[in-house]
Structure 1
Amino acid sequence: MNPILDIQHVTHSFGQHTALQDISFSVKQGEVVGLIGRSGAGKSTLLRCLCALERPQQGHILLDGVDLTTQPERQLVRIRRRIGLVFQHFNLLTSRTVAGNIALPLQIAGCPRKEQAARIAELLDLVGLKGFEKKYPSQLSGGQKQRVGIARALAANPTLLLCDEATSALDPESTNSILNLLADINRKLGLTIVLITHEMDVVRRFAQRILVLDHGRLVEDGTLLDFLRDGQNNRTLQTLLADIRPSLPTFLTGTLADTPQQGPHKTIIRLVLSGDSASEPLFSELSAQFGVQAALLQGGVTTVGEHLSGDMILSLEGDRTEQALSHLKMAAQNMEILGYVPSHS
Structure 2
Amino acid sequence: MSIILDIQNVTHGFGDQIALDDISFSVKKGEVVGLIGRSGAGKSTLLRCLCALERPQKGSIILNGTDLTKENETSLTKIRREIGLVFQHFNLLTSRSVAGNIALPLQIAGWSKDRQKARVKELLQLVGLEKFEKKYPSQLSGGQKQRVGIARALAASPSLLLCDEATSALDPEATTSIFNLLNDINQKLGLTIILITHEMDVVRRFAQHILVLDHGKLVENGTFFDLLCKSSDQGPLQALLADSCPQLPSELRNQLQHQPSPGLMPVLRLIMNENTALKPLFSLMAERFHVETILLQGGVTSIEEKLTGDMIIGLKGEKVFEAQAFLATNVQHMEAIGYVPVDR
Give TM-score, length-normalised by structure 2.
Answer: 0.97
Unmatched runs of 5 consecutive residues or more in structure 2: none
Counterpart in the other structure of 2:216: 216
AA at the equivalent of 1:320:
K
Cα deviation digits, residues 204-233 of structure 1 (max 9, x gap): 111101111111111110111111112212
2-structure distance, mates of 1:6, 1:340 = 46
Looking at structure 1, the residues matched to 185 and 93 of structure 2 have their Cα atoms a distance apart, in angstroms, of 24
Partner secondary structure for residue 111 of structure 2: coil
The CA deviation at 1:93 is: 0.6
Partner of 1:298: 297
Asked if structure 2 preserves the Cα contact closer than 8 Å seen for 1:261 and 1:341, the reply is no
For 2:42 and 2:340, locate their aligned partners in 1 and report how far apart those are by CA, in whole Å.
Answer: 43
- Write the distance in 2 (CA, Å) between the matches of 1:238 and 1:91: 33
1:18 aligns with 2:18: yes
Unaligned runs of 5+ in 1: none
Corresponding residue for 1:279? 278
CA contact (8 A) 1:261 1:342 kept: no
Deviation at 1:2, TM superposition (A): 4.6
Alignment of 1:223-262 (within 5 A): 223-262=223-262
- Aligned pairs (5 A) from 1:332-343: 332-343=331-342
Aligned to 1:4, the other structure's residue is in SS state strand
Q: Which residue of 2 aligns with 1:144?
A: 144
Equivalence for 1:65? 65
Cα distance in 2 for partners of 1:31, 1:146 equals 21
> Which residues of 2 match residues 1-345 of structure 1 at below 5 A?
2-262=2-262, 264-345=263-344
Distance in 2 (CA, whole Å) between partners of 1:269 and 1:70 is 51
Deviation at 1:115, TM superposition (A): 1.6
In the superposition, relative to structure 1, how do residues 339 and 96 fare at CA in structure 2: closer, same or farther (>3 Å)? same
Amino acid at match of 1:87: F
Deviation beyond 6 Å, 4+ runs, structure 1: none
CA distance in 1, matches of 2:115, 2:35: 35
Structure 1's 303 and 245: CA in aligned 2 closer, same or farther, altered over 3 A?
A: same
**3-state SS of 2:302 partner:** strand
- Give the aligned length: 344
| TM-score scaled by length of structure 1 | 0.96
| CA distance in structure 2 between the partners assigned to 1:33 and 1:115 by the alignment | 32
SS in 2 for 1:81: helix
Partner Cα distance (1:283, 1:81) in 2: 54
Output one character per residue of 1:296-324: Cα deviation in whole Å (capped at 9) or x when no partner: 11111111113211111112111122222
| Whole-angstrom CA distance in 1 between matches of 2:339 and 2:3 | 49
